[in-house]
Chain A
Amino acid sequence: METIKITIDNKVIEVAKGTTILKAAREAEIHIPTLCYLHLHDLNIENKPGGCRVCVVEVQGRRNLAPACVTECTDGMVINTHNIRVLNARKTVLELILSDHPTDCLICAKNGNCELQTMAQEFGIRELHYEGEQSTYREDTSPAIIRDVDKCIMCRRCEMMCNDVQTVGALSAVNRGFMSVVAPAFEMNLDHSVCTYCGQCVAVCPTGALTEVDHTNAIIRALADPTKTVVVQTAPAVRAALGEEFGMEPGTLVTGKLVAALRRLGFNYVFDTDFAADLTIMEEGTELLDRLTRHLNGEKDVPLPILTSCCPGWVNFFEHQFPDMMDIPSTARSPQQMFGAIAKTYFANKIDVKREDMVVVSIMPCLAKKYECTREEFSTDGNPDVDFSISTRELAHLIKQANINFNALPDEEFDNPLGESTGAAVIFGTTGGVIEAAVRTAYELHTGKKLERVDFTELRGMEFIRSATIDFNGLPINIGIAHGLGNARKLLQDIKDGKSEFHAIEIMACPGGCIGGGGQPLHHGDSSILKARQKAIYQEDAGKTIRKSHENPYIVQLYEEFLGKPLSEKSHHLLHTHYFDKSKEIKVVE
């Protein structure tokens, strides 16, 4: 590798040719502030439009200041990152950004978690020298995401996520000059666009321009209503991230404290979405084996590979973009929806509560789940299976509002029967986890043999597209994994072109899987946080006594008492779904 020498703040360092000033500075542990720049190192995702100009530095011999994020170092370059000229320029740049930014920080959803606010604080901004015209664009509220573009600073991070990483194409910069905003096509509302509600735009938005729809008040009301039995379920990825909201190290598992907090908030039953994840494996795993067996028996037209269907962002994606392939994904509902359906039938019956008197709340790392639970097919007589879905961040707010000292809580256990789960369910929270859980069960059901080793490390990791062949007692099963919708698109295109060799593919909309979901505590560009969460998930799995879904005693009991067997008529009715063509075909008239 060719290297060059540069001097940065009087420090002589050697860097690889092609290194940007920003990267060189970070290697030399010199902090240059950034705003539009975003680099998720472990995921190989980078946004550097060079737009905000906050990162300018002085380069000797250059007339104007250089934006550090897009300027490459040259041999012998002498850089000054914090002289008076640089500091004044940065401050002016920030003040200009603030000149048309609302100053209602006190009541902004991003208060305390806003990168622009933090920067204004760091720069010591105490007055605004430039008073500009204020944008007054309409607010756009969808079932999951709120767009308030008056707070947009045009960093283009959301566009990069939506277009380059996810290839969804819902957002673009439109119009020009002061009128320019990031918006869906024809400036329609998000719910009329191809948006999947994956929430990755929200996860990277530095300001309050993109936030989630907040249901915390509705939940407080439900909890205060004595006529309601309020049941809560919590997704696997939440326990690996919630601690961050309370100052804990990323990757701290807070399962016990999470249960304790939910109980103190007043939920009548504290259950686990992991239970429903085990149930998903029973249904999806059986479906996989069913399709495989039929295929091996020479039946033509068996849709293979089977694709997982537990990620609602992914479901929205293929409904919009691949409507001709809707027979390939599993028909199994997501764990959130399976849980809701079982809670409001089997469990409501058990405790003798009427459906309409039960409120099911889900805690999710996800924003697409907010939309998913409003889908008409997941309700009975207008009563939804899951009433409210809130994000990990909203739960943290709820706990703080209720004056609960989270860090001092004791570890408590989930309630039964819908709180028992296996290690296989926990790993649903990370990329590769669902398919590993499915393999653990499908292997034993197919071969009738006991798995010697339940850790399928070949399915783990952070690479965007992974593949492995698992030996099902002489039958090689080809497994594919993709996370991030752009990567899912690649695998789907292969299937479409008849090039796919896979029998089963797991797809997660968000980079990293649910641990990197749009509803998780904000990583502010530090992707090592995702890795820490992933590690925690596998740690929780390893610590479980039961690690295969079909061995969950309450799952066995649920089938005995209620469902019969996987893919039974009752299962189909309660645990499976169908998909809708949401593409916008051009209608031709003669």
Chain B
Amino acid sequence: MAKIKLSAERLDELKAVCKSFNNEKGELINVLHQAQGIFGYLPAEVQEVIARELHISVAHVYGVVSFYSFFSMLPKGEHPVSICLGTACYVRGAEKVIDEFKKHLKINVGETTPDGKFSLACLRCVGACGLAPVVLVGEKVYGRVSPDGVKDIIEEYTR
């Protein structure tokens, strides 16, 4: 595992997040959520700090991080692409959309392109089933995406 080092500033920021939840171990998921917001992902070092601040074991923190697909230990791309695999999106061909993204970006789900521009992830139901299949790029939602439309979406961010 590649080691990253946390700067003192970011370490303080992380500790402040823990403190805002009173360093309560029951708030682990909330802390992780915010930490991922700061760092974009949850590298081992971040999990170690959280474990220490919340007085729980690192193994436990990792147990939670590895359980929820929302949490990631890999840095996301500048434009994180998420494809909904909820029931509605799935039956309307989300899988073909994923395949198209994989083909164009030359990465698998859970990976980031070498230039750090895009990462690919799946999620379950964003609550916009009427627009199925749904794709998110960052916070922007694309509805009724067909495999043919994938190229255009990518181009929006590479221009």
Contacts and interface: CB of A to CB of B under 8 A. Distances in A.
| Chain A complexes with chain B | yes
Interface of A: 163, 168-176, 180, 183-187, 193-194, 584, 586-590
Contacts of A184: 59
B48 A586 contact: yes
B6 interface: yes
Given A169-B56, A185-B57, A584-B48, A175 B66 contact: yes
Contacts of A171: 59
Contact of A586 (B45, B56, B59, B60): B45
B59 A172 contact: yes
Nearest to A175: B66
Interface string B2-42: 00011110010000000000000000000000000000000
A187 B7 CA distance: 25
Contacts of B56: 169
Given A194-B57, A584-B48, A172 B63 contact: yes
B90 interface: no
20 contacts: A163-B57, A169-B57, A170-B59, A172-B59, A172-B60, A174-B63, A175-B67, A183-B59, A184-B59, A185-B47, A185-B59, A186-B62, A193-B59, A586-B11, A586-B49, A588-B5, A588-B11, A589-B5, A589-B8, A590-B7
A175 to B, nearest CB: 5
Contacts of A183: 59
A176 B6 CA distance: 29
Given A185-B62, A586-B48, A586-B49, A172 B57 contact: yes
Nearest to A193: B59
Contact of B7 (A170, A193, A588): A588
A180 B66 CA distance: 9
Given A588-B5, A589-B5, A176 B66 contact: yes
Nearest to B56: A169
B44 A186 contact: yes
A183 B60 CA distance: 10
A234 to B, nearest CB: 35
A590 B6 CA distance: 8
Nearest to B8: A588
B25 to A, nearest CB: 12
Top 4 A-B pairs ranked by shortest CB distance?
Answer: A169-B57, A172-B59, A172-B63, A185-B58
Contacts, number: 64
Contact of A590 (B8, B45, B48, B62): B8
Contacts of B57: 163, 168-170, 172, 185, 194
A38 B5 CA distance: 42
A191 to B, nearest CB: 14
B1 A186 contact: yes
Nearest to A584: B48
A473 B127 CA distance: 78
A174 B62 contact: yes
Nearest to B52: A586
Of B7, B56, B59, B62, most A-chain CB atoms within 10 Å: B59
B1 to A, nearest CB: 6
Interface in B76-105: none
A371 to B, nearest CB: 19
B35 to A, nearest CB: 14
A173 B8 contact: no
Nearest to B45: A586
A185 B11 CA distance: 20
Contacts of A588: 5-8, 11
Contact of A169 (B44, B59, B66): B59
Given A163-B57, A169-B59, A194-B58, 8 more contacts: A163-B60, A170-B57, A172-B57, A172-B60, A186-B58, A584-B48, A586-B48, A590-B7
A186 B56 CA distance: 15
B5 A587 contact: yes
A173 B66 CA distance: 9
B135 interface: no
Contacts of B8: 588-590
Contacts of A187: 62
B6 to A, nearest CB: 6
Nearest to A181: B66
B61 interface: yes
Nearest to A167: B57
Of B1, B45, B56, B60, most A-chain CB atoms within 10 Å: B60
B67 A174 contact: yes
A342 B44 CA distance: 44
Contacts of B6: 586, 588-589
Nearest to B67: A176
A589 B7 contact: yes
Contacts of A584: 48
A322 B5 CA distance: 23
B63 to A, nearest CB: 4
Nearest to B59: A172
Contacts of B44: 185-186
Of B1, B7, B57, most A-chain CB atoms within 10 Å: B57
B101 to A, nearest CB: 23
Of A169, A186, A193, most B-chain CB atoms within 10 Å: A186
A168 B60 CA distance: 11
Contacts of A193: 59
Nearest to A169: B57
Nearest to A589: B5
Of A168, A172, A173, A184, most B-chain CB atoms within 10 Å: A172
A588 B49 CA distance: 11
